[in-house]
A = this chain, B = another copy of it.
């Protein structure tokens, strides 16, 4: 998987969070995920299906960061990861993937998106079961960390 495929997701997350929550996360270096386990407390997942390839994306947040984004986007800060927070994470997952889809579509990589699914549970881990390489992009902030993982077949 080349950088042409990764950058649109990275840019798209910061576009979405910058616009919706006035928050910029600091992106670390994208890397191949091997045995490493990225843990988080709330994750949005979405499937992608295109004529050339299919795959999956996840965005995992530490709870403290998800609650900070919630406060900035909606002006309220629940005490726990409730349904409003999972709705927001699903929405962010949809918008980030949609933003990347637009950029990639302009480059000739088309795919359709399934509907998002959100997982909540302290310290859960995500394993993408595609045949292709798994790319992990770490993001940091003073409020907590996030990760995007992208995986396409082939």
Task: List residues of A whose CB falls within 8 A of some B CB.
Answer: 43-49, 54-56, 58, 83, 86-87, 90-91, 93-94, 112-131, 151, 153
Select one of B83, B90, B119, B129 contacting A87, CB under 8 A: B129
Cβ-defined contact, B112 with A117, below 8 A: no
In the complex, besides A49-B49, A54-B115, A86-B129, 18 extra interface pairs with C-beta distance below 8 angstroms are A44-B129, A47-B48, A47-B117, A49-B114, A56-B114, A56-B115, A56-B116, A87-B127, A87-B129, A91-B129, A93-B129, A114-B114, A115-B128, A115-B130, A115-B151, A116-B129, A117-B126, A124-B124
Ranked nearest first, the 3 interchain pairs of A and B with the lowest CB-CB distance are: A47-B47, A47-B114, A121-B124
Cβ-defined contact, A120 with B124, below 8 A: yes
Which residues on B sit within 8 Å (CB–CB) of A94?
129
Select one of B45, B91, B119 contacting A124, CB under 8 A: B119
Cβ-defined contact, B129 with A125, below 8 A: no
Could you tell me the distance between the alpha carbons of A135 and B131 in the complex, rounded to whole angstroms?
29
Could you tell me the distance between the alpha carbons of A48 and B46 in the complex, rounded to whole angstroms?
10
Which residues on B sit within 8 Å (CB–CB) of A46?
47
Could you tell me the distance between the alpha carbons of A31 and B122 in the complex, rounded to whole angstroms?
27
Could you tell me the distance between the alpha carbons of A153 and B47 in the complex, rounded to whole angstroms?
14
Select one of B93, B118, B122 contacting A126, CB under 8 A: B118
| Contacts known (A56-B115, A114-B56); A127 close to B86, Cβ less than 8 A | yes
Select one of B91, B112, B122 contacting A49, CB under 8 A: B112
